[in-house]
Amino acid sequence: MNYKNKGFTSIECIVSLSIICIAVYIVSTSVYASYNLVKSNEKNIEMLNIAKSSLEDKKYFVRNSELKEIKESLDTQEIGSYEVRTKLEKDKEYYQCFKINVKVISNLKKIELNSYVTQ
Amino acid sequence: MSHNNKGSILIMTLIIFTIISIISMMCIGLIYTNNNISNLDYQNIKLREESLSGIEIVYSNILKEVKNAVEITRNEEEFKSYFLGNNSYDFINNVEDVSKSDLKNILIKFSDEDLSEENEFLKFDVISNARKNLYKKSIKVSVKIKNPWYMQVKDIKEENEQNKEVIDNHILENADLVEIPELIEDDKDKKDIDINEKDLVILYDYKEI
């Protein structure tokens, strides 16, 4: 009886180890990809918040400006590892209306928000 | 002994494999949801900005119309009729016009109720709809336009009445020391008043619908 079963456990172990190896490979690959995705989402949210706050700042400036004529402008600033470009231009088709364009640029991604504001 | 343990390692491995798979599937599901939420947040902000931009353009159009109305009209009734009655169609069309802007997914419309008049104010609601693929965002805002002639005409009339009384008394009493006030010419005075159209238009009660 013992003679007949000789070697079975070894084969069983090899099969089990192979299955575990495959499982670990699949899981580690997917977890790594997910981790990257979470990181990328985190960056996106950060960039979006920066874009939103820059846009609101510009809107506040235009709305509360006491200047008769607001000059068109293109500002570039560094916030953390991001480059923020804010462009303010007058929309000649509409009465005292300005177009604001905010771009937040990182090494890999770019987020853009557009809005209009009336003085 | 060997007979009893036959296949147990394999079964244990399969059970562990199943557990690992379930846990990893749950993690992936959570991350997928996180990704969707992040994407939805971005779309939400973009559409809200577009919708608010539509309202800003409407505000700009209203300011232009009010400026025209102030320049053209001379009294309360003329100012009212510039926006109401047959002219309301033109006014609504002018206000709703966002075609010259870069906003392509925006639809502006007046709410179902017509322009209403309440004391010195004209009131109406504007809805700005932004749509992109499956996502949609609507913002409703109430607008009040103040009639610039409302109080002033009343004041001028009251002042004129008071002045007339003084003049009458002066004539009756024949008193030399009383200064004779001059009657105010309505049109002349109205033109001298510096009216800023921004003080006449009020946007309030922003609602997401």
What distance separates the 2 farthest-apart alpha carbons in chain B? 138
Percentage of residues of chain B with pLDDT beyond 90: 6
CA dist list (Å): B90 to B62, B65, B138: 12, 10, 24
Mean pLDDT for B3-13 is: 72
Q: Which of residues 33 through 52 in chain A touch B, CB cutoff 8 A?
A: 34, 37-38, 41, 44-45, 48, 52
Q: Which two tokens stand for residue A62?
A: 């235009």
Flag whether pLDDT at B66 surpasses 70: yes
Flag whether pLDDT at B161 surpasses 60: yes
* pLDDT band at residue B1 using 50, 70 and 90 as cut-offs: very low
Mean pLDDT for A94-110 is: 89
Q: What is the pLDDT of residues B77-132, one digit of tens each?
A: 888 888 887 777 888 888 888 888 888 888 888 876 667 777 778 888 889 999 88
Flag whether pLDDT at A104 surpasses 90: yes
Closest CA to A86 of A117, A51, A62, A61: A51
pLDDT, position A86: 92
Whether A12 and B9 lie within 8 Å, measured CB to CB: yes
Mean pLDDT for B7-30 is: 84
pLDDT, position B188: 46
CA distance A53 to chain B (A): 12
Could you give the dihedral angle defined by the CA atoms of residues B117, A117, B42 and A113, in that order, rounded to the nearest 10 degrees? Answer: 160
Whether B14 and A19 lie within 8 Å, measured CB to CB: yes
Q: Which two tokens stand for residue B175?
A: 């008193």
pLDDT, position A51: 92
Flag whether pLDDT at A45 surpasses 50: yes
* Closest chain B CA to residue A3: B2
Is the CB of A96 inside 8 Å of chain B's CB atoms? yes
Mean pLDDT for A74-99 is: 88
Is the CB of A55 inside 8 Å of chain B's CB atoms? yes
Whether B16 and A20 lie within 8 Å, measured CB to CB: yes
pLDDT, position B157: 58
**What is the per-residue burial (b if ≥16 Cβ within 10 Å, else e) of B84-122?**
eeeebeebbeebbebeebebebbebebeeeebeeeebeb
Higher pLDDT, B177 or B88: B88
pLDDT, position B160: 63
Whether A94 and B35 lie within 8 Å, measured CB to CB: no
Mean pLDDT for A105-115 is: 88
Across A102-116, B85-99, B124-138, B168-182, least confident range: B168-182
Chain A residues with CB-CB distance to B105 below 8 A? none
Flag whether pLDDT at A111 surpasses 50: yes
Mean pLDDT of chain B: 78
Flag whether pLDDT at B155 surpasses 80: no
**Whole-number Å distance between alpha carbons of B205 and B138:** 14
Across A33-37, A60-64, A115-119, B167-171, least confident range: B167-171
Exposed/middle/buried for residue B145 (C-beta within 10 Å: 0-12, 13-18, 19+): buried
Percentage of residues of chain A with pLDDT beyond 70: 93
Mean pLDDT for A62-83 is: 84
